[in-house]
Chain A
């Protein structure tokens, strides 16, 4: 398994501001992922973050809105920029341990007013 922590665990933000979410893993991993989980919707992949390369974004998500950093093999950040109430969601990071095994962090609960 993998121990994954996220900071902050929750936050309430004003529209127009930005929030950076941190994800820390207890061991080195190549692939890290950022997901969004909104009420009534399935987990949606935002981007894949590999160390040493630019993040790969899924359709509907852009780097200007969700910039990602991956400075080393145990850490990544996701920034939610210029927030609006539609960005209220749970944001989850996950890591890949084998082809079929993903482990998720506890999530960051974001409310944008």
Chain B
């Protein structure tokens, strides 16, 4: 079993839809949870990070962490064609820098 599971998609939604992207994990020691966005032929860019459980909102993006279920989500409201990209979840232990474990990435396409 992989430490981090993520559905690779692709996920196609119409413009304006609410998008839900999810990851599950098995390592209960993970404390930092990140979402990266990767456009085609580009490197990943950090979108959001959350420490421990709870929600974090940034504009149209909301990250949720449920440590009891070992489940994290990224919601995108009012999705735009410019949101079309691959979204990678990533996780890390706490206590100074630790190795980051990435999900496989979900490819999202927002159709105008």
Contact = CB atoms under 8 A, between A and B. Distances in A.
B96 A99 contact: yes
* A45, A58, A103, A104 pick with most chain B CB within 10 angstroms: A104
Interface string B71-112: 000000000000000001010101011011111110000000
B48 to A, nearest CB: 11
Nearest to B43: A104
B34 A92 contact: no
Interface stretch (A13-21, A35-43, A65-73, A74-82): A35-43
A109 B97 CA distance: 28
A42 B104 contact: yes
Q: Give the size range of B's interface with the partner.
A: 20 to 34
Interface residues of A, number: 21
A10 to B, nearest CB: 9
A42 B102 contact: yes
Given A45-B99, A99-B96, A100-B49, A106 B42 contact: yes
Nearest to B88: A43
A58 B105 CA distance: 21
Given A31-B97, A96-B97, A100-B92, A43 B32 contact: no
Contacts of A92: 43-44
A31 B98 CA distance: 12
B51 A43 contact: no
B4 interface: yes
Contacts of A105: 43
Nearest to A103: B46
Given A99-B96, A104-B43, A104-B45, A40 B104 contact: yes
B31 to A, nearest CB: 9
Interface of A: 4, 31, 40-43, 45, 58, 92, 94, 96, 99-107, 109
